[in-house]
Amino acid sequence: MNTTQILFWFLSGLALVSALMVLLSKNPIHSILWLILVFFSISGHYILLNAQFLAIVNLIVYAGAIMVLFLFVVMLMNLSKEKEDQKNVWMKLSGIIAGGCFLVSTCNVIFNAQVVSKELAGKTALLKEGSIGLIGPLGKALFNDYVVPFEISSVLFLSAMVGAVVIGKKD
């Protein structure tokens, strides 16, 4: 094993353990803190893949802003253990179905990748190869090849903002 492989296995283990802890911890605040750890280990993976920009943006946006808002909401909601057990069976079922769909599709992607490109098979990480995660190539890709999806997603955000303003307005 070389250093990158050690790092890869360490980060993967960390990500899996903390992802499990997100689900298993009783206290929602602890769940969020474990989730932050998940984001950190995922950022570590990005760095191993030479995608420093993605790693840092992941930290800024998810760990830095969105998780703070999560903490905010959870701290203000004052969740208690008594209220937690009243979950609907249908909610659980739909959760299982949605999670299962996601699992199937990610497995599909992973196996396809091994079939399509032979050089990926049996490797842990592509260290210092590929530059799509750096800021220059990423910007070029986003604004040349994927302009339309990019702009459409910004419209989505705009609609979310408008929705927030409408909800927040007093009348």
Partner 1 sequence: MTLLTLDWILLIEKLVLIVVIILASLGIALYTTFAERKVAAILQDRPGPSRAGPYGLLQPLADGVKMFTKEDIIPNAASKWLFILGPGLAMTASLMTCAVIPWGGTIELFHRKIDLQIADVNIGILYIFAVVSMGIYGIMIGGWASNNKFSLMASLRAASQAISYELAMGLSLIAVLMVTNTLSLGEIVKQQQTGWWNIVYQPLGFLIFFICALAECNRTPFDLPEAENELNFGYHQEYSSMKLGFYLFAEYINMIMSSAVMASVYFGGYDIPFVDDAHVYASIGNWAALIQVGVLLAKVVGFIFLFMWIRWTIPRFRYDQLMNLGWKSMIPLALFNMLVTGALILLRMNHWHF
What residues make contact with partner 1 under the rule CB under 8 A?
1-3, 27, 29, 33, 36, 52-53, 56-57, 59-60, 63-65, 68-69, 71-72, 75-76, 134-135
The CB-of-33 to partner 1 minimum distance in angstroms stands at: 7
Nearer to partner 1, 17 or 64 (CB): 64
The CB-of-22 to partner 1 minimum distance in angstroms stands at: 16
The CB-of-89 to partner 1 minimum distance in angstroms stands at: 32
**Nearest Cα to Cα of residue 67 among 27, 28, 36, 42:** 36
Nearer to partner 1, 107 or 164 (CB): 164
Own/partner pairs, 134-141, CB within 8 angstroms, 24+ separation: 134/50, 134/51, 134/52, 134/53, 135/53, 138/53, 138/54
| Cα angle, residue 61 at apex, residues 57 and 67 outer, rounded to 5° | 140
Nearer to partner 1, 19 or 135 (CB): 135
Residue 52's H or E segment, with its range, is: helix 52-57
Nearer to partner 1, 24 or 68 (CB): 68
